[in-house]
Homo-oligomer: A and B are copies of this chain.
Amino acid sequence: MPKPPTIHDIAKAANVSPSTVSRVLTGSTPVTPDKRAAVLAAIDALKFKPNLVARGLARGQSMAIGVLTQSMSSLFFGELAQGIDSHLRGGAYHPVYATGQWQLDEEIEALHLLLERQVDGLIILSGGMPDNAIRAVAAQMPVIVVTRSIPGLEAQCLPTENYQGAYQATRYLIELGHRRIAHITGLLTIPDAVERYNGYCQALRDAGLEIDESLIAEGAFTEESGVQAADVLLQRGVAMTAIFAGNDQMAYGARLTLYRHGVQVPDDMSLMGFDNLSSSAYATPPLTTVRQYMYEAGVAAAEGILRLLSDQAPNLPSFAPDLVIRASTAPPR
């Protein structure tokens, strides 16, 4: 295979110096129209493509924005990534993804890879990186953190309003008339899960309802854990008319358990999620849930990074959670 042409090749072909070629490529300096035309002609005659690696070295910037995410096959992270992707599209910067697979060691490795690749900025989506590590990186380069709130780095964080969202969700069920409301928590080692749990508890208290431990089961954010948690709830044999799951995926799992046991949703049991994954609109019945604005968060994060890269304040918005009312909830009968 012949080696791809370089600016020297097209310089020769166009009878100009390499610097002139570079100039028409970058537009940094005016170039005489005829020379410019010659260069352009040579460029597509030889099918020249600039080598971004070399350019990155020379310029000291890669035009890449690292996105530290957890998995390529997660709708949660996928919608965030899609937001980032679409906002960056057409611009000068491009996203480069690295996944942590929900494992700290892999996440650290992924971060290192991104840094070694000389990304110009970093968007961190959730994950378990220690606050200190994130602060350390943020001292070196523009960083935006989504779905977390790092003390001392608030301006660059786009946290999730877990507490507020869970409070609203629970309150909604209460207002429908439910009194025995179960909760399937997320992994309680993760702040989001705890905050949502707290929101659930507070909403109950504010309504003068007791918090009944037997109505609470711990999950792990996965569908399968939702299946199991719902099984636990059902087997306890305690009365309940609604289940509020810590995220949509666990709600799907719980839904499956209910289906297997012949429990009708929403007639026998209301079901509520958290996240508003795109697929929740197509669940059976469509899932009532807490909207998380993940796509929008991705867009905002991308915009924030671009602002940081141009030395402006990141100016991150905050998304107040709201409910997406669908057919999986109804008054108790």
Q: What is A's interface to B at a CB cutoff of 8 Å?
A: 1, 4, 49-54, 56-57, 62, 71-75, 78-79, 81-82, 84-86, 89, 94-99, 101, 106, 112-113, 115-118, 139-141, 223, 227, 252-253, 255-256, 259, 278-279, 281-286, 295
Contact = CB atoms under 8 A, between A and B. Distances in A.
Interface of A is mostly: helix
17 contacts: A1-B139, A49-B112, A50-B116, A52-B118, A53-B53, A53-B118, A71-B78, A72-B72, A73-B82, A73-B278, A223-B282, A227-B282, A252-B282, A255-B284, A256-B286, A279-B279, A284-B284
Q: What copy number does this chain have within its complex?
A: 2
Contacts of A72: 72, 78, 81-82, 84-85, 97
Contact of A78 (B73, B84, B256): B73
B113 A94 contact: yes
B73 A79 contact: yes
Contacts of A86: 101
Nearest to A51: B118
Nearest to A253: B282
A275 to B, nearest CB: 13
A117 B279 CA distance: 34
A53 B256 contact: no
A89 B71 CA distance: 12
B99 A85 contact: yes
